[in-house]
Chain A
Amino acid sequence: MKGRVASSVLALCAGLGFATAAFADGEFAGVTIEAKLIGGQQYEALYGRIADWEKATGGKVSIISQKNHFELDKEYKADIAAGTTSWCVGSNHSSFAPQYPDLFTDLTPLIPAESLAGFVPANIAAATINGKLTMLPRAQFDVSALYYQKSLYTDKAKAEAFKAKFGYDLAVPETWDQFRDQAEFFAAPPNFYGTQYAGKDEAINGRFYELVVANGGKMFNDDFTPAFNSPAGKESLQWFVDLYKAGAVPPGTTNYLWDDLGNGFASGTIALNLDWPGWSAFFNDPAASKVAGNVGVAPAPKGSAGVRTGWSGFHGFSVTEACATKEAAASLVDFLTNEDSQKLESAAGPLPSRTAVWEYVLDQAKSDPYKAEVLTAFQETAKTAFPVPPTPYWIESGNLIFPELQAAILGDKTVDQALQDASDAVDGLMKENGVY
């Protein structure tokens, strides 16, 4: 009953457009919110602000699980199966969210409209699944831009040799074809490679997806029949195969995930690296990176359709449908994604998901040329970024697609055969689940 009254009051406040960011003292006294949060050094600075929320509202937060998203994903699925979903707040990710259509509640009635209006509209659109706002994005917006070693582009001998071989000037690549030429040109294995790519799981699937889009194709048709076995799909997969065959990437790249890529570029053995914003500070830190001071950042190159790659995702916080104190939980989620929280998180490098905080970080970076270069490159890439297709089978279909991509890259199958097999497998999955 108490919950219902509080809910009505909140709804009324929201309806009248009152700011509820300033909490009534002790508003949630006696309420304990159980939370399952993503763990990891880069994510945890924000959790220090939980104590401020507790102080302001009188509520308590009990963190009952802290893991990476892949582990949280398994835990959420086990919770759904066991019916143990009465914990309240959970970390979520735009790539995983469509898998849990009923786990999380619609936040729209629980969050003040003016708070929602402060987010980048595209982020809110991507967080809305089947008409339900399933999470509020935190300042962990991810899209990949191009990191490169600047010295490679100031070497006259290299510039002349490149022009002699390819017939155009050596400059930071603006297209993925130029990127391939340059990666092959710079490679000198086993000590130096032109580039590298994430080679397994959702990581390679996402890279393939964004290249398919950049080359004018799509992963799925509107009815979710697979659409990647197309000329654009073949062109995209051929790009991965060419780089591998030419020895422009480390031979183990099909086993690499994000940490391997970040550490590889920081080791100074990689010329060009498409990577996430979270690495920018690490790459330019002399204590951690051999390329510190030599890092350039440019917007992601474009594919043959003139479209920039821009597979994007973001972290967020959701409230479970079975939570007994949704108002308090939503208040916490709102707090962890408000302007102050986003300013704190984005100070360390990650990109914000609130318009005002974007302006703030750009202004703050004026005195730091590297940070300004990073933000400009990522902001440009973010303009045309796109989320994963809105299907609960994104991860599951990816697990059928990526081994086939690997098979083509390693030469076990032709590009045509691999895409045909992947398409057949995904078609079977969709039919089996009654998607069409």
Chain B
Amino acid sequence: MTSAKLPPWLVLLLPAFIIILAVVAIPLVFSLYSSFTPYHLTRPDTLWKWIGGFNYIKAATDANFWKAFGRTVLLLTIALNTEMLLGLGLALMVSKVTRGQRALRTAMMFPMMFSPILVGFQFKFIFNDNVGLVNNALQSLGLTDIAIPWLVDGNLAMFAIIFAEVWTSTSVFAILILAGLFAIPQDPLEAAKVDGCTPFQSFRYVTLPFLMPFIYIAMAIRSLDVARAYDIVQVMTNGGPARRTELLWTLIGRTGYVDARMGYANAMGYISILMSIAFTVYFFLKLQSSRRELGMGD
């Protein structure tokens, strides 16, 4: 009697397959399925009721969903670009420091060490209209005699949220770009100097092209990871008031976990995945083209 033996490559890969199936593939398929049902967390029997594309049609025709979608794209665009510019500036400055650079690099990472919930509470207090730090400072300095509603006015509230997000995540860009700066070969920079380039020209035509792959990698990582800002938004405004700071994360989180309408929340989640894919593909294409420019191949 011969027992069927699995080929060694399959045996070796099997644990990985099982883990990926259990933690990624099955939950993904399950959540996709549930988006075609009226699944309500407190009524488990609703999971077995097929309603076709009802949830998708409902989300696609809901003005509040698309407003939240647009606001999320806006927040991503402003926050990521601001973080990139500030991170680039920070990295360039730190790279010039000759003494105490290690201490500076460590200090630069402090904001990353805070839990996003704590960051949310911290900035909620700072921007509180009545007892907050910003308003009290502005009033004490005589710059204003009104209580500026930082977390109420739509534009100011988005600014406050972006400010908190930029404060906590700029150092991610700075660290990655700093690594890029250390990896730049010195020959082209010295050649530029010999050729009489100004410092700006050296930066624009030599340093920056070398840094671009690092910047796009940082962008791609952050565009996927930026949803961690959910905690900050949840604590600071929870999408309000009057949906003025509603983002996809707060809307989907509330629908799924507070209202318990998990089927509908999953449908909204799948539509918004399109946005994540679009951002990632865009940054990946930019990364490829910048690597090609440097002759690093695809």
Contact = CB atoms under 8 A, between A and B. Distances in A.
A190 B132 CA distance: 12
Contacts of B40: 433
Contacts of B131: 263-264, 267
A416 to B, nearest CB: 16
B198 interface: no
B130 A399 contact: no
B135 to A, nearest CB: 7
Contacts of B128: 252
A401 B75 CA distance: 26
Interface of A: 70, 73-74, 77-78, 80-81, 83, 99-101, 103, 189-190, 193, 199-201, 250-252, 254-255, 263-264, 267, 269, 392, 395-396, 399, 403-404, 406-407, 409-410, 412, 432-433
B259 A399 contact: yes
A252 B243 contact: no
Interface string B116-153: 00000000000011110001000100000111111110
Nearest to A403: B243
Nearest to B239: A403
Contact of A100 (B42, B149, B241): B42
B238 A201 contact: yes
B260 interface: yes
Interface string B227-257: 0000000000110111110000000001001
B42 A410 contact: no
Q: Is the interface of A mostly helix, strand, loop or mixed?
A: helix
B240 A403 contact: yes
B254 A189 contact: no
B41 interface: yes
A255 B40 CA distance: 28
Contacts of A432: 38
Given A255-B241, A269-B130, A81 B262 contact: yes
A254 B242 contact: yes
Given A190-B135, A190-B147, A403-B240, A74 B42 contact: no
A73 B258 CA distance: 8
Contacts of A410: 152, 241-242, 244
Nearest to A77: B41
A409 B41 CA distance: 32
A255 B242 contact: no
Interface in B154-199: none
B42 A80 contact: yes
B204 to A, nearest CB: 44
A254 B254 contact: no
Interface of B: 38, 40-42, 44, 128-131, 135, 139, 145-152, 237-238, 240-244, 254, 257-262
A252 B151 contact: yes
B147 A200 contact: no
A80 B44 contact: yes
A77 B253 CA distance: 13
A200 B241 contact: yes
A422 B38 CA distance: 22
Contacts of B261: 396
B36 to A, nearest CB: 15
A83 B45 CA distance: 12
B171 to A, nearest CB: 28
Given A103-B42, A251-B129, 20 more contacts: A73-B258, A74-B257, A77-B41, A77-B260, A81-B44, A83-B44, A99-B42, A99-B260, A100-B42, A190-B135, A199-B241, A200-B238, A251-B152, A252-B149, A252-B150, A264-B130, A392-B42, A395-B259, A396-B260, A399-B254
Contacts of A78: 41, 257
Nearest to A189: B147
A196 to B, nearest CB: 9
B243 A254 contact: no
16 contacts: A70-B258, A80-B42, A81-B44, A99-B260, A190-B147, A200-B241, A251-B147, A252-B150, A252-B151, A255-B152, A263-B131, A267-B130, A269-B130, A395-B259, A403-B243, A406-B241
A308 to B, nearest CB: 28
A433 B39 CA distance: 11
Nearest to A267: B131
Q: Nearest 5 pairs between A and B by C-beta? A: A252-B129, A251-B149, A190-B147, A254-B241, A406-B242
B147 A250 contact: yes
B241 A190 contact: no
A264 B135 CA distance: 15
Contacts of B38: 432
